[in-house]
Structure 1
Amino acid sequence: MVPGALSLLISASVWSLGLTLPARTVKQDDRTDANKNTPSDGGLFISDQIVKANKGIPYILYQGDIRLLTSRSARICDACAWDKSGQGLVIVPYVISSVYSGTNKDLITSALLEFETMTCVRFRVRNKESNYLNVDDGEGCWSYIGRIRGAQTVSLQQTACMNYGLIQHEMMHALSFFHEHNRFDRDSYVKINWQYISPEAKDQFKMDNGNAFNISYDYTSVMHYSSKTFVNTSGQVSIIPIPNPNVSIGQRTGLSSLDVKRINALYNCNLCRTKLLGASGNFSSSDATATNTSDNCLWLLHAPSNLILLQFAKFVCLSKNCNAKINVYNGVTKNSSLLATVIAGQPLPVLVSSSTLVLLEYITNASTQSSFSGSYSTVMYGGTFTTDGGSVRSPNYPFSYPNNARGIYIIIAPPKKQVLLTFSEFDIESSSKCSNDSLRITDGGNLNAPLLGVYCGNRSDLVITSSGPMVVLQFSSNSNINGKGFKANFSFVSTR
């Protein structure tokens, strides 16, 4: 099969912003974080979680978590890939054991949905297919490589393997992928410290003669071991990146950009997709390489924790009759709630998600040209509010707000409306020029809009009206005195 491109969908919209569903204020302890349901693992990387889970299980596992067939070579896997349909989709039927809790079933399903968004692979609940994945609460975390025919187990032990990225790791094996550090060309990118690896574990680092699809080595792959996986000497490492030993390897989050690219290459998915993984990043229309004119380009932003703060630097039309827009979805698929629709040439709001995942869909006409760029970072608290008659509250309200907290809240009214803020409670540590804890309010949709005021202390009469349809509240606290915080009721009023 020949390499395919990832497809990126970002849609642009009109100044109405197309905001249909409001985001709520999200507290630290109730975010819909992709890894929220992960049990405590002591901060282990995915590969180290797997090694820990698989210690002592009664199976011989190649490379730590690959179950072998006696009839298949572990080094070269021919005919492992799943079949591609005439519609260009790779259908992988699966069943999830009934013993999983509802929460864990949802986590597994969520991890599978990302493959559907970013590739042409479709995990589908089995009907009567003879070849399928049996996701089982077995011993440890492991999978076979590729399709083996019949019912094939993917073991995801509930007490050890319930991590979004770990689930995707095992599903990558089921789709035919080995570990990244076992690539045939890995010695050009990492050094294996054989002296710090026990003899019985050295097989885990043997190279495979697989197809790299001319895709760069990926230190950030969900399939890469961490620097200490299988190390037998305290204070030492088993893998060192070269030439820069300070490059981070191993992760806890999920598919990387090149993981997505490899899947699309193996299965010849004719798509335009970009995955951004990390606490911050940049995106632009120049990332898009649309090869399938019937499909929009998509960007998936995936932060390891907290909420995503999205900021557009520009979105302009480069030709007449341009109707480009970007749909911003509050989750991993286009079925997630629509956070906003941003339109070329219109004001660009800052947006705050309610989870660690945001999907951008770029909708444009091939006969017209547009250009956009933006960035994302993370914030502990916040939300995007678009429904008339709600309220914004400080973190932990009505209890004292936490130390060193940062929250960003944007309220967006329809065009020709203003935002009226009425504070029913306001108790923020008082200081000269509000230099400690404060609430900063700007008159517009971005962080650098004209300032309406910076507030702290105790207030009982605070009422603020924006001059246009958007207002941003930025809350911050230091590590000293904490107050009860604030509650602001908002409504949309007609422009005077």
Structure 2
Amino acid sequence: MERIVFLCLVSTSLSAVPVQKFLFTPKWVPIGYKGRQIHGDLTAMDEIITANEVHATRFVDGTTSLREGDIAVTSGRRSKVCFARSCLWSKSVDGHVYIPYRVSSDYTETQVQLIKKAMENIEEDTCVRFVPRTHQQDFIDIQRKTGCWSYLGARGGRQTVSLQSPDCVQLGVISHEFMHALGFVHEQSRPDRDKYVTIMWPNIWRDRLRNFEKFRTEDLDLPYDYSSIMHFGMYSYSMEGEPTIIPKNSKNTKLGQTSYLSNLDKLKINRLYKCGW
């Protein structure tokens, strides 16, 4: 009888192995997230990836999909050239770039204050100013949809910035999505990125390789910014917790930001929008 019980236990344990392995595949919980936790270098993009891979899909709706993990792209619309003037927000005669916004009433007061703090994060030392929408036709509509994502640059009319609660209502995540709305892609998408980082293709989830494509964008005559709020973390989309991006200058270089814009992020905003300071 004891032998039968023992064999049943062994059989149960062995049959559970595939289940455990399945539960921790990238489709459910990003394995690379564990590696980042161990190394203590979580970035805003790491949080976005975790939220989107667990809760969101690659498709926002029937005509809109997510590129690079959090950039919403509508079929038939230009999506990869956002340093062109056509996708920038209008500049006022007083030298400021005013971005009207509306915040969903579904957020708590504390969450609304955090969203406003992220706006201040971008406004500091730049010419961008977020203003509550009154009558403006073009504005960002901040909604508690599924996942963290934004369209790239100004699209015209109402455009959604999705900040799922509570996963995406974090200072760095919100700031990151607002940067997309201003027209910025991820830093490692620069066409010259291979001079500065090595993409470890074998370590990346097979179905997320496209998230590491390069964009045909301008560098605004600014140096590569390892510490940009728009940079992927070292373990982004890692299959087994191994690095997916390695800096060429030093393995000790930290990639990305947790909460705040880098100095070069602010300079990029002022260069792109031709601010006077």
Q: State the TM-score, normalized to the length of structure 2.
A: 0.80
Q: Is the 8 A contact 2:142 2:162 kept in 1?
A: yes
1:93-120, Cα deviation, whole Å (9 max, x unpaired): 0000001000000010111023223111
In the TM superposition, residue 198 of structure 1 has moved relative to its aligned partner by 2.0
> Could you tell me which residue of structure 2 aligns to residue 218 of structure 1?
225
Please give the secondary structure, in 2, of the residue aligned with 1:155.
Answer: strand
* Larger RCO: 1 or 2 (CA < 8 Å, sep 6+): 2
Alignment partner for residue 47 of structure 1, among 30, 45, 52? Answer: 45
Q: Name structure 1 gaps, 5 residues minimum.
A: 1-40, 272-496
Superposition map of 1:300-339 within 5 A: none
Please give the secondary structure, in 1, of the residue aligned with 2:112.
Answer: helix
Structure showing the higher helix proportion among its residues: 2
Distance (Å, rounded) in 2 between the aligned partners of 1:262 and 1:203: 25
In the TM superposition, residue 199 of structure 1 has moved relative to its aligned partner by 2.2
Distance (Å, rounded) in 2 between the aligned partners of 1:82 and 1:156: 21
Distance (Å, rounded) in 1 between the aligned partners of 2:130 and 2:44: 22
Q: Does 1:171 align with 2:170?
A: no
Q: Does 1:65 align with 2:70?
A: yes
> Could you tell me which residue of structure 2 aligns to residue 400 of structure 1?
none
Superposition map of 1:230-269 within 5 A: 230-234=237-241, 236-269=242-275
Q: Is the 8 A contact 1:193 1:240 kept in 2?
A: yes
Q: Does 1:124 align with 2:131?
A: yes
Please give the secondary structure, in 2, of the residue aligned with 1:68.
Answer: strand
1:7-39, Cα deviation, whole Å (9 max, x unpaired): xxxxxxxxxxxxxxxxxxxxxxxxxxxxxxxxx
- Aligned AA (2:72): R
Please give the secondary structure, in 2, of the residue aligned with 1:124.
Answer: strand
Distance (Å, rounded) in 2 between the aligned partners of 1:84 and 1:183: 25
Distance (Å, rounded) in 2 between the aligned partners of 1:238 and 1:200: 14
1:275-314, Cα deviation, whole Å (9 max, x unpaired): xxxxxxxxxxxxxxxxxxxxxxxxxxxxxxxxxxxxxxxx
Distance (Å, rounded) in 1 between the aligned partners of 2:119 and 2:205: 35
Please give the secondary structure, in 2, of the residue aligned with 1:133.
Answer: strand
Alignment partner for residue 93 of structure 2, among 70, 79, 86? Answer: 86
> Could you tell me which residue of structure 2 aligns to residue 8 of structure 1?
none
In the TM superposition, residue 57 of structure 1 has moved relative to its aligned partner by 1.7
Q: Is the 8 A contact 1:168 1:254 kept in 2?
A: yes
Number of residue pairs the alignment of both structures matches: 230
Superposition map of 1:342-491 within 5 A: none
Q: Is the 8 A contact 2:121 2:260 kept in 1?
A: no
In the TM superposition, residue 53 of structure 1 has moved relative to its aligned partner by 0.7
Q: Is the 8 A contact 1:227 1:238 kept in 2?
A: yes
Alignment partner for residue 198 of structure 1, among 205, 227, 238? Answer: 205
In the TM superposition, residue 85 of structure 1 has moved relative to its aligned partner by 1.1
Pair member with larger Rg: 1
Q: Which runs of 4+ in 1 moved over 6 A?
A: none
Task: Provide the alpha-carbon RMSD of the alignment.
Answer: 1.5
Distance (Å, rounded) in 1 between the aligned partners of 2:220 and 2:256: 21
Decide whether aligned partners of structure 1 residues 182 and 152 sit closer, same or farther in structure 2, where only a CA change above 3 A counts. Answer: same
Distance (Å, rounded) in 1 between the aligned partners of 2:80 and 2:102: 28
In the TM superposition, residue 87 of structure 1 has moved relative to its aligned partner by 1.2
Distance (Å, rounded) in 2 between the aligned partners of 1:155 and 1:127: 20
1:430-452, Cα deviation, whole Å (9 max, x unpaired): xxxxxxxxxxxxxxxxxxxxxxx
In the TM superposition, residue 165 of structure 1 has moved relative to its aligned partner by 1.4
Distance (Å, rounded) in 2 between the aligned partners of 1:139 and 1:107: 19
Please give the secondary structure, in 1, of the residue aligned with 2:251.
Answer: coil
- Aligned AA (2:74): L
Distance (Å, rounded) in 2 between the aligned partners of 1:200 and 1:80: 29
In the TM superposition, residue 251 of structure 1 has moved relative to its aligned partner by 2.2
Please give the secondary structure, in 2, of the residue aligned with 1:118.
Answer: coil
Q: Is the 8 A contact 1:166 1:254 kept in 2?
A: no
> Could you tell me which residue of structure 2 aligns to residue 75 of structure 1?
80
1:152-171, Cα deviation, whole Å (9 max, x unpaired): 00001112012111111000
Give aligned-pair identity as a percent: 39
